Structures are given as C-alpha cells and as structure tokens.
Structure 1
Amino acid sequence: MAKAPFLIPAVAIVAAVGLSSLFVVDEREKALVLQFGQVKQIKTDPGLGFKLPLIQEVVTYDDRILSLPTRPLEVTPLDDRRLVVDAFARWRIVDLVRFREAVGVGGETVAKSRLDGILNNAIREVLGSVPSTAVLSDDRTPLMNRIRDLARREAAALGIDVIDVRLTRTDLPEQNLSATYDRMRAEREREAADERARGGEAAQRVRATADRTVVEVTSEARKQAEIIRGEADAEANRVYAEAYGKDPQFFAFTRGLQFYTESMKPGSSSLVTQPDSVYFDYDRFLESIGERRAPTQ
C-alpha cells in the first residue's frame, strides 16, 4: 500500500512520454522529424506519426499550392520604354529535405522572400529581351510561360516547384503617362486630319464627277431638244405648206387668227389705233401681213 502514492506519478510520466512521442499530420501539411537539426523522418501522408520524445521534434510545412504576389517592378524592354509590372506566382513545396536545407528555420517566410527575388530576376530577364509592344499586347502567355520556366529552374534549388506565373499589370510609370497620352492624342489627331483630308479629296472628286455628268446630260438633253424642236418646226412648216397649197384662203384665215391671238395675250403691249385702222379690216389686214385673200368665184 505504501507504493501506491509513487505509482500514480510514474503512470502519469509514462503517459506524458507516450503522448509526446505521437504527432498528427494534417491532410494539408507535410512534416519532417528532426533530431538535433538533422532530418530523421519525412511524413507526407496525413495521419498519426511517432518520434522519440524530448530528442526529436516535428516541423510541418504547408502542402497546398501557395500564392506569392510580387512588388511593383520597373523593367526596361528592348525599345527602352520603361514599364511598371506586377505579377503573382503559384508555387508548392515538393522536396521537404531540400527546402529545409535551403531556408532553415525561417520556413515559408524565408522561402517567399527568396522566391520573390527569383521572380523579379526572371521578369527583368524575359521582358528585357522583347519590345514594349509585346509586353503591352493582349496575348502575353508566351512571355509568362518563359518567366515561369526560368523561375522554376532557379527555385528547384529551394525544393520549390513554380506552377504558374501571371502578369497582372503592365503600365507606364506615372511620370511617363502624361507624355505618352499626349503623344497618343497627337497621333490620333494626325490620323483624323489625314482621314478628313482624304475624305475631302474624295468628296471633291465625287462633286466634280457629278458636275461633269450634269453638264454632259444637260448638253445632250438640249441637243436632243433642239433636234426635236427643229424636226417639229420642219413638220409644222410642211403641214402649213400643204394646208396653204390645198386652201390658201383658209390658211390665210388661220394665220390672221393666230396673229390676233398672239397680239391680244394678257400682258402684251397696248394697241392704240383708229377705228378705221387696217387692224380691224380683215382684208386689208391680210394684205398688210403679206397674205392675199383668194378672189371669190
């Protein structure tokens, strides 16, 4: 019975030691078992693990795909046109031992800092080898793939796999934006002036062609009208001649009526004459205008 007081502490110590030899790895993590800083065990599967209590320690790392946004970076493409570039990378720890040796106790914080430098160098190297038009274009996939491949080769020494790199922003520096906008505005105004000049020239050609066509059509119409009028006058004279030959008296009568009709139109000059004027004597009137009344039989 005297040993009972010492048994409980002993059991508690054994239980504590047993529990300290157990560790649990989450499905989102990987773990290293270290003994005096040396890697003794790699635990990549989720579940329960064992280690030596007090001697060994467990260090866990995130097994998910991580994101790393870069700081705004100024680059100079081939045409010496400075640009400000933002990017982000997707990366993952693939070699725990190499990762531990490369970053030490700093873990993911140190890894992000070193990976940020690798990405910046890759961005400067790739974008510095192409003109700014390629960087500012809509399709930058080949450039991003080149940056990813270059960063992947460099990050392999850290036990990291760079899965993807994306350029999120490619802009001009603030001090260059105003000058660039002014240059773009001047170019657009010049293009607009050229378009207006070409449009005015085309309009002048159209108007000249239309005016020439109007003159040609009008001239042709007048010529045809004169021809038709001449033919009509000739036909009228022919008809008059035939009528005169058939009945000179009737012809003279119609000519007299035509003269009276033309002279008495509204708006014609006023006629002032005496009652015994030739104008009111039909026979004398015909003689005055050159017509001779045929003698009656």
Structure 2
Amino acid sequence: MARIQYILPAVLAVGALALSSVFIVDEREQVLVMQFGQVKQQISEPGLGFKVPFIQDVVRYEDRILGLQSQSLEATLKDNRRLIVDAFARWRITNAVDFREAVGAGGIEAAQSRLDPIISAAMRQVLGSVNSNAVLSEDRTGLMNAIRDIARQQSASLGIEVIDVRLTRTDLPEQNLAATYARMRAEREREAADEIARGNEAASRVKASADRAVVVTTSDARRQAEVIRGEADAERNAIYSEAFGRDPEFFAFTRSLTAYERSLREGNSSIVLEPNSDFFSYLNSPEGRAAAE
C-alpha cells in the first residue's frame, strides 16, 4: 500500500513530463524549438513535435500571408511634381530561422517595423524615375511590380518574401491642391469660352444663312406675285375688252359704278360738280342710260 503511494505520484510526474515534451504544429504556422536562445529544430509540417521539457521552448510564427499598410510619404517625381503616396504590401515568412535571427524576440511587429522603411525606400526609388502621368494613370501594374521586386530583394535577409505591393493612395500635397484646382478651373473656363465662341460663330452663320434665305424667298415670292398680278391684269383687260366689244353700253355702265364707288368713299377729298355733269349721267337718266353725246 505504501508502495502504491509512491508509485502514483511518480507516474503522474512522468505523465506530466511526457505531456510537456509534446506540442502540436498547426498547418497555419511554423515552429522553432529554441534552447538557451539557439535554434535547435525547425518544423514547418503540421503534426506532433517533441522538445526537452524545461530546457527547450517552442516559438510559433504565422505561415500565412500577412499584410502591411505602409506609412504615407511625400515623393518627388521625375517631372518635379510631389505626391502623397502610400501602399499596402503582402508578405510571408519563408525561413523561420533567418527570421528569428533578424528580428529576435520581436516577432511579427519587429519585422513589420523593419519592412516598412524598405517599402518606402523602394517607392521613392521607383516613383522618382517616372512622370506623374504614369503614377496617376489607371494602369500602374509595372510601377507596383518594380516596387515589389526592389522590396523583395532588400528584405530577403529578414527571412521573408514580399509577395505583392499595391499603391493605395496618390494625392497631391495640401499646399498644391488649391493651385491645381485653380489651374483646372481656368482650363475648364477657357474650354467653355472656346465652346461658347464656336457656338456663337455657328449661330451667326445659321442666322446669316436664314436671313439670306428670307431675302431670296421674299424676292422670289414678290417676283412671282408681280408675274401673277400682271397675268391677272392682262386677263382682266382681255375680259373687259371682250365685254366692251360685245356691249359697250354695259361696259360704260360698270365703269361708271366703279367711279362712283371710289369717288364717294368715306375719307376721300370733297369734289364740287354741276348736277348736270356727265359724271352723273347714269344717275340723272330715268332709264339708267348715259346721255347721248
């Protein structure tokens, strides 16, 4: 019975010691087994791992792709324009041993603090060799790939790989915005003035063409009216001549009635005639005939 009392604690101690020597490696991480600050084992495959209890420690690092939002920087471009630029980088740990030796116990945060100036320096180097049109264009794949390649080369000693770099912001500095907006406004106003001038010129041409068409149409209409009026007068005179030839008395009668109508119309000047004037011959004749000559 006394022996069991000694054996049970020993078994528990051995079990606890055995459990403390076993650890699990997740598929999303890399593991280093450290002993007195030195790397004794590197494990990148998921499964069970073993260490010496109380002497060795397990350090875990992400094996997934990580992201880094760079600090905004003011870059001077090839055409001497200045832009506020920042970027987003994706990176991953490729060699946990080199990573540990480079950043020490600082881990991911220390790596990002060292990677950020590398990204910024690469951005300054690439953007300083191109004009602003290339940076502000929609297709900036070549620029971002160049920044990625430089950052990848310079960060290889950290045991990491820069997978991708994307420019997320390209803005003018605040002090340049007002001048840029004023220049853009002046350009738009100049374009508007040009459009207005061209519109007024086109309107003047249309108006002149319309006025010319009115004059031509009016002249043609008047010419046609005179022709029609002349033809009508000629036809009327022909009818009068024919009527006079058929019945001279009736023709003289109608001509007298027309003369009465025109002379006695309201508003005409006053006339003084003798009652027995030939002008009233048809009115003085009981039969409505003119006095015989």
With the shorter chain as reference, the TM-score category is: 0.7 to 0.9
Aligned to 1:185: 185
Report the Cα offset of residue 171 of structure 1: 0.7
Would the aligned equivalents of 2:82 and 2:172 in 1 still touch at CA under 8 Å?
yes
CA–CA separation in structure 2 for the residues paired with 1:283 and 1:12: 161
CA distance in 2, matches of 1:70, 1:197: 49
Provide the residue aligned with 2:140 in structure 1: 140
Q: Secondary structure at the match of 2:59?
A: strand
Please give the secondary structure, in 1, of the residue aligned with 2:155.
helix
Query: Following TM superposition, by how much is the alpha carbon of 1:127 offset from its aligned partner in structure 2, in angstroms?
Result: 1.9
Q: Which moved more, 1:107-116 or 1:269-278?
A: 269-278
Unaligned ranges ≥5, structure 2: none
Distance in 2 between residues matched to 1:11 and 1:20, nearest whole Å: 14
Q: How does 1:1-297 map to 2 (within 5 A)?
A: 7=7, 10-271=10-271, 273=273, 275-282=275-282
The CA deviation string for residues 136-194 of structure 1, in whole angstroms up to 9 with x for no partner, is 23333332233223323333332222222222211111111111111111111111111
Q: Give the distance between the partners of 2:264 and 2:234, measured in 1 at CA.
A: 27
Q: Is the 8 A contact 1:23 1:50 kept in 2?
A: yes
What is the SS of the residue equivalent to 1:281?
helix
* C-alpha distance in 2 between matches for 1:254 and 1:98: 132
Give the C-alpha shift of residue 295 in structure 1: 6.5
| In structure 2, C-alpha distance between the alignment counterparts of 1:159 and 1:116, rounded to whole Å | 15
Q: Please give the per-residue CA displacement for 1:172-227, whole angstroms capped at 9, x wherever unaligned.
A: 11111111111111111111111111111111111111111111111111111111
Kept in 2, the 8 Å contact 1:17–1:53? The answer is yes
Task: Quote how far apart the aligned CAs of 1:70 are.
Answer: 0.7
Conserved? CA contact 1:278–1:284, under 8 Å? no
* Structure 1 length-normalised TM: 0.86
Distance, in Å, in 2 between the alignment partners of 1:266 and 1:78 is 95
Equivalent position SS for 1:139: coil
Give the structure-2-normalised TM-score: 0.87
Determine if contact 2:34/2:59 at 8 Å carries over to the other structure.
yes
What residue is the counterpart of 1:288 in the other structure? none
- Residues 99-154 of structure 1 show CA distances to partners (whole Å, capped at 9, x for unaligned) of 22322332212210121112112211222222212222333333223322332333
Inter-CA distance 268–10: structure 2 relative to 1 (3 Å threshold): same
User: For residues 168 and 272 of structure 1, what CA distance do their matches in structure 2 show?
Assistant: 108
Which range moves more in the overlay, 36-45 or 274-283?
A: 274-283
Q: Name the CA distance, whole Å, in 2 between partners of 1:193 and 1:214.
A: 31
Shift of 1:61: 0.4
Change (3 A) 1:294 1:129: farther
Unaligned stretches of 5+ residues in structure 1: 286-291
Identity of matched residues, %: 64
CA RMSD between the two structures: 2.8
SS in 1 for 2:152: helix
* Divergent runs of 4+, >6 A: 1-5, 292-296
CA contact (8 A) 1:126 1:147 kept: yes
